[in-house]
Amino acid sequence: MKKEVYINSIGSVSVQKTFDDSAFLEDIVTYNDNAIKVVDPNYKEFIPPAAARRMAKGIKMSAVSSQNAMKEAGLENVDAIIVGTGLGCLGDSEKFVRDILDNDEQYLTPTRFIQSSHNTVAGSIALDMGCKGYNFTYVHSNLSFESSLWDAKLQLATNEAENILVGAVDELVNHHVETHKFIDHIKKEAVPMEDVLNSGTKGIVFGEGSHFFVLSNKKQGSTYSRLIDMGIYNTLPEEKISETITSFLENNKISISDLDGVILGNNGDVEFDSIYKNLGTSLFEENPQLVYKHLSGEYDTASGFAFWLANKIFKTGKVPEILRWNNLPINNPKRLLIYNQYRGKNHSLVLLEKC
């Protein structure tokens, strides 16, 4: 008998003030840029100075979001830690490469190399928590977080684990931003937040963030939602997206009209946003549509922000106006579908139900 999978807590550090759990997108951080950094929480409240001195930004952000998630779930330890990251602690990788090239492979120090291991965040959280359980890191572009969720769901449904800390983290790094501007993956020009999704130009506004959640097969007082199902597809021809979503829902005995809203990954890249726009005027025409990447920026694990958002909406019953993409009314939604893709590849579906 398969067990249900619940989201029992959330934690977030992002471009918005999401680390503060008392408010929900009330005080929006605006920008006029093509690369946006997180609002830094007071890391010292979470990390002892001796530990902080070598930590990459991704580890620091994740210390905050993971500790917040653990605290809310009322846990000291978990059975497994699973983290998704497109590029790991890229800041240190970039510095290490720079050191190699600039110093002709001389006088290099180990810290930057150690931080560059993709699994350094998951390892560091385990070390801090003393968690000897299962410890995985997925690094598959914009399916990194979804792969982690998938793995957690598999273990919880089959009762291999009871509580799993699942996270998603990526850092903003200058070399990455500069080079991706060359190839039009990141916008060459600065764009004000309110115009990003209708910018009409190539590329995205790059962001960063860290999102952690405790998933469990036991419902408790803090439970936000139930993960009904999810889908991962490395490729999908555009003409098959609608039918794939429809059959995904049918498998779960849910029709399109049963969805109280869809959270779409529009990121303002004129070349690929048509995928969402076409769905918005066809399959999802009757559904309230929400968007978020103008607030979070786009990065490999930006869908972690969407997952945070959906759960926050369930808990508060509120849908901030700034998220709304069409005009259909949405009140206290019970069931939300998150659909994401990046540059037409790596499509994912995550279906959540309020608890």
Partner 1 sequence: MNRGVAITGMGMISAIGNNVAENFASLLSGRSGISKITQIKTVHESEIMVGEIPLTDDALENTLGYAHDTYSRTPLLGIIAAKEALAQAGIKDVSDYKTGLISGTTVGGMDKAEEYFYDYYQTDAHWNHINGLHAGDSTQKIADAIGLTESFVTTISTACSSAANAIMLGARMIKSGELDRVIVGGSDCLSKFTINGFKTLMILSDTYNTPFDENRKGLNLGEAAAFLVLESDKVVKNENKEVLAYVKGYGNSNDAYHQTASSEHGDGAVLAMEKALKVAGIEPKDIDYINAHGTATPNNDLSEGRAIIRVFGDNIPEFSSTKPFTGHTLAVAAGVEAIYSVLAIQNNIIYPNLNFKTPMSEFKLLPQTTLKNKEINTVLSNSFGFGGNCSTLIFTKEA
Partner 2 sequence: MSELKQELKEKIIEQLNLEDVSVEEIADNDPLFGDGLGLDSIDALELIVMLDKDYGIKLADPKEGRKIFESINTMAAYISAKKA
Q: What does the binding site for partner 2 look like in residue numbers (CB under 8 A)? A: 49-50, 53-54, 106-111, 114
Q: Which residues sit opposite 123 in a β-bridge?
A: none
**How far is it, in rounded angstroms, from Cα 165 to Cα 80?**
6
Mask of contacts with partner 1, 161-200, x by CB under 8 A?
Answer: --------------xx-xxx-xx-x---------------
Does 239 bind partner 1 (CB under 8 A)? Our answer is: no
**How far is it, in rounded angstroms, from Cα 140 to Cα 156?**
22
We find the least distance from the C-beta atom of residue 158 to partner 1, in angstroms, to be 6
Does 344 bind partner 1 (CB under 8 A)? Our answer is: no
CA distances from 301 to 46, 47, 111, 317 (A): 22, 23, 25, 25
Residue 246 interface partner, choices partner 1, partner 2, none, CB cut-off 5-8 Å depending on type: none
The pair of structure tokens assigned to 116 is 């560059």
Mask of contacts with partner 1, 94-123, x by CB under 8 A?
Answer: --xxx-xx--xxx-xxx--xx-xxxxx-xx
The pair of structure tokens assigned to 167 is 């996270």
**How far is it, in rounded angstroms, from Cα 148 to Cα 166?**
7
We find the least distance from the C-beta atom of residue 115 to partner 1, in angstroms, to be 9
Does 61 bind partner 1 (CB under 8 A)? Our answer is: no
CB 72 within 8 A of CB 222: yes
Mask of contacts with partner 1, 123-162, x by CB under 8 A?
Answer: xx-xx-xxxxxxxxxxxxx-xx--x--xx--x--xx----
Give the closest residue to 307 by CA, choosing from 134, 185, 160, 142: 142
Interior angle at CA 338, CA 283 and CA 135, nearest 5 = 150
Number of helices followed by number of strands (H, E) in the chain: 11, 12
CB 10 within 8 A of CB 312: yes
We find the least distance from the C-beta atom of residue 135 to partner 1, in angstroms, to be 4
Residue 1 interface partner, choices partner 1, partner 2, none, CB cut-off 5-8 Å depending on type: none
We find the least distance from the C-beta atom of residue 141 to partner 1, in angstroms, to be 4
**How far is it, in rounded angstroms, from Cα 146 to Cα 341?**
11
Please tell me what DSSP assigns to residue 258: G
We find the least distance from the C-beta atom of residue 45 to partner 2, in angstroms, to be 15
Of 147 and 311, CB closest to partner 1: 147
Q: Which residues bind partner 1 (CB under 8 A)?
A: 81, 86-88, 93, 96-98, 100-101, 104-106, 108-110, 113-114, 116-120, 122-124, 126-127, 129-141, 143-144, 147, 150-151, 154, 157-158, 175-176, 178-180, 182-183, 185, 232-236, 240, 244, 300, 345-346
